[in-house]
Structure 1
Amino acid sequence: MSMMQEKMYMDVDDVCAILGVSKTYAYSLMREYNKELKAKGYIVVSGKISTKFLAEKIYGMKVED
């Protein structure tokens, strides 16, 4: 299984590895995406991002439970 299928949440190092971006940019994306989730009423954890939500935002795919 890939990293995106194993974890419910990813941290900045996971996002950097998957997207090949710097930690600064990964944190920026995570803040933006968590802000979007919070506006939709979801509980968010600072420094983490939902693996499913990231897959939907980055790859445009819906991930089933």
Structure 2
Amino acid sequence: MTKDPKFYHAQDIAQIMDVSESSAYRIIKKLNQELEEQGKIVIPGKISKRYFEEKVYL
């Protein structure tokens, strides 16, 4: 996993969810769209660890 303390990258999501990296990018894009609809500023290709863990049941 990367060392960014607040964000997951596609490689992290792929590893956590056991999916391909391209699937991980689609998941990040969907979650970032939800955040944008809430008026949040997002970083393409990254997702907040807190938001990801709230939205995804592991």
Sort the TM-score into its range (normalised by shorter chain).
0.7 to 0.9
Q: Partner letter of residue 13 of structure 1?
A: Q
Corresponding residue to 2:18 among 17, 20, 38: 20
Asked if 1:40 corresponds to 2:34, the answer is: no
Moved over 2 A (4+): none
Q: 5+ unaligned residues in a row in structure 2: which ranges?
A: none
Q: Give the Å deviation of 1:24.
A: 1.0
Question: In angstroms, what is the RMSD of aligned CA positions?
Answer: 1.7
Q: 5+ unaligned residues in a row in structure 1: which ranges?
A: 61-65
Q: Which residue of 2 aligns with 1:8?
A: 6
- With structure 1 as the length reference, what TM-score do the two structures score? 0.78
- With structure 2 as the length reference, what TM-score do the two structures score? 0.87
Identical residues among aligned pairs (%): 36
Q: Report the Cα distance in structure 2 between the residues aligned to 1:7 and 1:15, rounded to whole angstroms.
A: 14
- Greater Rg over alpha carbons, structure: 1
